[in-house]
Amino acid sequence: MAASAEETFTVFMRESQPRVAVALSAAFGADAARDATAEAFAYAWEHWDRVGGMTNPAGYVYRVGHHRASKQRRTPAVVVPEPSNHDPWVEPGLVPALRRLSPRQRTVAVLIDGYGLHPQETAELLGMSRSSVRRHHERALHKLRSALGVAIDV
Amino acid sequence: MSDLGTQLRDYYDAAVTLIEPEDVIEKRVPYVAHPPTVRHLATQQRGWVVALSAAAVVLLVTVGVTWVTLRGRSSTPVDLVGAGPVPERVIFHAAIFDEDTPGYSENYDLYAIDPDGSNLTQLTVTNANEEAASWAPDGSRIAFHSDADGSDSSSIYLMNPDGSDVIRLTEGVFPTWSPDGEQIAFEKITDDGRSVWVINTDGTREREVTNHAGYHSVPAWSPDGSRLVYASDPNASPGDCEFSAPEGSCNYDIYTIDLDGSNPTRLTDHPTQDGFPDWSPDGTRIAFHSDRDGNWEIYTMNSDGTDLTNLTNAPALDGNPSWSPDGTQIVFTHGSTQLTYIMDADGSNPRLLTNLPPGAEALWPDW
């Protein structure tokens, strides 16, 4: 028996939401990303008969969320806030280093280095060419290493 | 200390809140009434294209007029070797990464600017990345690398300073003109590493100079055109010197080599990274950048590797040095903002050259 729309959407959302949410958080900050991610997946469910048949539905949902976050950006946005006391410990220089990256550089670095996405997967999610992803990744790592020192491995 | 990937994941795991699919299906989250359609996105892109095209026309007309003015007195072909190179402007690539700044672009384009910081002109307006430009000795052409063909590798292109007559020369990166203007040295990237090559500017006689294993990068010519200076790690294995490799797996030092591939000579020997060398116009000194003191600085040394001098000595990042045509100044990339600066050849009098908007980067200058 064929899976229901609820089932296919649930599988899709469980699989794609982490990368979409992280990508939007890296670009716009967690607060803006939370609303944008919710709205984008809600739209995808509302139109699941069409979105579910797309070759790259995660990329489409990301684009919807990116558009939403761009329109509703808070000013000034705290895109990379300091971690709270109950968050896992992170290197004190990480937040200032992340703030020095462009939104694209930060997004690409977080997806590839933080979440292990392949550059091709990253390119498909963000709607970029693989060579552009490579360039943003190189620039991001160069800046992060310059800011954090040479002791940190990737 | 945990690695950077773990740090990034820990930080964003704590920041991101995931939603249950059931809450979406049951419509317990807000709904986007007017999401972007494909047509809407295309219209947005067309708007940018129209705006950028209009800007490009204005800029290119400005550039053209400027260049006709600047080059008018040197438009007659003359033997420029030994008479001092003609280029009077600094060329670099730049992008404005701040999405709130007018002119925002995620792609690098080429720009030129007078050494006093005036007459900033944009030379390319594309959706590709044009980078690492190099003047022909007579200023009549510019070489650069670009990912314009959409493949995973970059190619070397030549164009007129007004952006016209663009030709693709070969696959490679970091082109640099020979002093006689007849050849271009460049770096070729393969799965086995990186190597230094030379090609005639008409596309003939492409040949490898560094015919041995390892990584050999970012060449520059000696003023007499007989040798190349470059960064090299001949002991690196494939992948060791790529950005994704762990720190410490690659050790670039500065080398020189004859144009026929003979006499490779090591000039620096330090366990950190030395790179981006450039030979002074009189042939006596070589400038390069290094992180040997724990921070990227500009150094110069005699062309035999002696008399090493740190020119920058600043806590900020300094890199990508290029000599002025008269050898009295050096242009370079400086600081966390990654903008282009100029200093005297002894390291004194550093000053900002590219006064660009917030979020801009101006990199890899050539003078």
- CATH number of the CATH domain containing A25: 1.10.1740
Domain's final residue, options A75, A96, A117: A75
ipTM: 0.89
CA distance B36 to chain A (A): 6
Residue B363's nearest CA partner among B158, B176, B177, B109 is: B109
| Closest chain B residue by Cα to residue A110 | B8
User: Are the Cβ atoms of A42 and B32 closer than 8 angstroms?
Assistant: yes
Mark whether A140 and A89 lie in a shared domain.
yes
Say whether both A112 and A139 belong to one domain. Answer: yes
Count of structural domains within chain A: 2
Q: What is d(CA B11, CA A90) in angstroms, rounded to the nearest whole number?
A: 7
- CA–CA–CA angle B173, B179, B181 (5° rounding): 75
Give me the mean pLDDT over the B329-352 stretch. Answer: 88
Residue A138 is predicted with a pLDDT of 87
* pLDDT above 60: residue A148: yes
Within 107-166 of B, beta carbons closer than 8 Å to A belong to 107-108, 129, 147, 150-154
Query: Could you say which DSSP state residue B226 is in?
Result: S
At residue B2 the predicted structure's pLDDT band, cuts being 50, 70 and 90, is low
On average, the pLDDT of chain B sits at: 81
- For residue B35, name the pLDDT band (cuts at 50, 70, 90): very low
> In this structure, are A71 and A90 located in the same domain?
no
Interchain CB distance below 8 Å, A153 and B246:
yes
Q: Helix H segments across A29-149?
A: 30-46, 48-51, 57-71, 94-99, 103-109, 119-126, 130-148
**A131 to B152: CB separation less than 8 angstroms, yes or no:** yes
The answer to whether residues A1 and A71 belong to one domain is yes
Q: What is the pLDDT of residue B47?
A: 37
| B30 band by pLDDT with thresholds 50, 70 and 90 | low
Burial B213-230 (b: 16+ CB within 10 A, else e): ebbbbbbbbbbebebbbb
Inter-chain CB proximity B3 and A153 less than 8 Å: yes
- Which of A7-21, A118-132, B39-53, B56-70 shows the highest mean pLDDT? A7-21
Contact B90, B353 (CB under 8 A): yes
What is the SS3 assignment for B341?
strand
Is there a single domain that holds both residue A11 and residue A58? yes
Record the tokens describing residue A130, joined without a space.
């693989």
Indicate the range of A97-101, B35-39, B251-255 predicted with least confidence.
Answer: B35-39
Residue B276 phi, psi dihedral angles, 5° rounding: 50, 55
Does the distance separating the beta carbons of B36 and A67 come in below 8 Å? yes
Are A63 and B5 a contacting pair at CB < 8 A? no
Mean of pLDDT values over B59-88: 35
A98 and A57 housed in the same domain:
no
pLDDT at residue B164 is higher than 60:
yes
pLDDT value at A139 more than 90: no
* Same-domain check for residues A56 and A104: no
Q: How confident is the model at residue B261 (pLDDT cuts 50, 70, 90)?
A: very high
Q: What is the pLDDT of residue B336?
A: 60
Q: Check: pTM over 0.80? Answer yes or no.
A: no
User: pLDDT class for A99, splitting at 50, 70, 90?
Assistant: confident
Q: Based on the domain organization, do A65 and A88 belong to the same domain? A: no
C-beta separation of B221 from B257 below 8 A: no
Do A55 and A119 fall within a single domain? no
Write out chain A residues lying below 8 Å of B14, CB-based.
83-84, 87-88
Residue-number span of the structural domain to which A34 is assigned: 1-75
Q: B136 with B143: CB under 8 angstroms?
A: yes
Judging contacts by C-beta atoms under 8 Å, the chain A residues touching residue B129 are 131-132, 135
Least confident range of B53-62, B94-103, B199-208: B53-62
Closest residue of A to B20, CA-based? A14
Asked if the model's pLDDT at residue B152 lies above 90, the reply is no
User: Which three-class secondary structure state does DSSP give residue B293?
Assistant: coil
Q: What is residue B190's predicted lDDT score, i.e. its pLDDT?
A: 82
| Residue contacts between A and B (CB atoms, under 8 Å) | 171
Mean pLDDT for the stretch of residues A55-59: 91
Q: How many CB atoms lie within 10 A of CB A118?
A: 12
The residues, ordered by sequence, that sit 6+ positions from A1 with a Cβ below 8 Å of its Cβ are none
Position A1 confidence tier, pLDDT thresholds 50, 70, 90: low
* Confidence (pLDDT) at B98: 65
Within 10 angstroms of residue B232's Cβ, the number of other Cβ atoms is 30
Summarize the confidence of residues B28-40 as an average pLDDT: 49
Among the three residues A75, A106, A141, which one is the final residue of a domain in this structure? A75
> Pick from B57, B151, B136, B36: which is nearest to B91 by CA?
B136
Suggest the residue from B2, B8, B312 to mutate for an interface test with chain A (most A CBs closer than 10 A).
B8
**Confidence check: pLDDT of A152 > 90:** no
- Report the pLDDT value the prediction gives residue A74, as an integer from 0 to 100: 43
Bridge partners (DSSP) of residue B343 are B330
B186: closest CA of chain A, how far (Å)? 19
Domain stop point among A13, A41, A75: A75
- Where residue A80 falls among pLDDT bands split at 50, 70, 90? confident
Give the model's pLDDT for residue B201. Answer: 95
Beta-bridged to residue B341, according to DSSP, are B332, B352
Which of the residue ranges B76-80, B202-206, B335-339 has the most confident prediction, judged by mean pLDDT?
B202-206
Number of other CB atoms surrounding residue B308 within 10 Å:
15
Instruction: Give the mean pLDDT of B262-276.
Output: 94
Question: CA angle, B339 as apex, B335 and B342 as ends, to 5°?
Answer: 90
Interchain CB distance below 8 Å, A9 and B99? no
- Residue B355 is predicted with a pLDDT of 79
pLDDT (average), residues B228-234? 96
CATH number of domain containing A154: 1.10.10.10
Q: Where are the alpha helices (DSSP H) in chain B?
A: 4-15, 21-25, 38-71
Among A144-148, B130-134, B259-263, B300-304, the minimum mean pLDDT is found in A144-148
* Domain identity same for A41 and A89: no
Residues B195/B188, Cβ–Cβ less than 8 Å: yes
Contact B24 A45 (CB under 8 A): yes
Question: At which residue do the structure tokens 């986007």 appear?
Answer: B32
B249 close to A (CB below 8 A): no
In the predicted structure, residue B278 carries a pLDDT above the cut 50:
yes
- Whether residues A139 and A102 fall in one domain: yes
Q: CA-CA distance, B247 to B250, in Å (whole number)?
A: 7
Give residue-wise pLDDT tens across range A22-50.
999 998 888 888 888 998 999 899 889 98
pLDDT higher than threshold 60 for residue A64? yes
Same domain, A69 and A90: no
pLDDT computed for residue A134 by the predictor: 86
In tens, the pLDDT along B286-331 reads 999 998 988 889 999 999 999 999 999 887 788 999 999 999 999 9
In the prediction, which pLDDT does B69 show? 32
CB neighbours of residue B316 within 10 Å: 15
Element (H, E) at A16: helix A5-28
Classify residue A139 by burial, with Cβ atoms within 10 Å: 0-12, 13-18, 19+: buried
Is residue B337's pLDDT more than 70?
A: no
- Scan residues 87-116 of A and list those with Cβ closer than 8 Å to B: 87-91, 94-95, 98, 100, 102-105, 109-110, 113-116
Supply the mean pLDDT for chain A.
Answer: 84
Q: What is the mean pLDDT of residues B119-146?
A: 90
**How confident is the model at residue A76, as a pLDDT?**
43
Residue B177 has pLDDT above 50, yes or no: yes
Q: Does A123 touch chain B (CB under 8 A)?
A: no
Chain A residues in contact with B11 (beta carbon < 8 A) = 83, 87-88, 90, 94-95, 98, 114
- Quote the percentage of chain A above a pLDDT of 90: 36
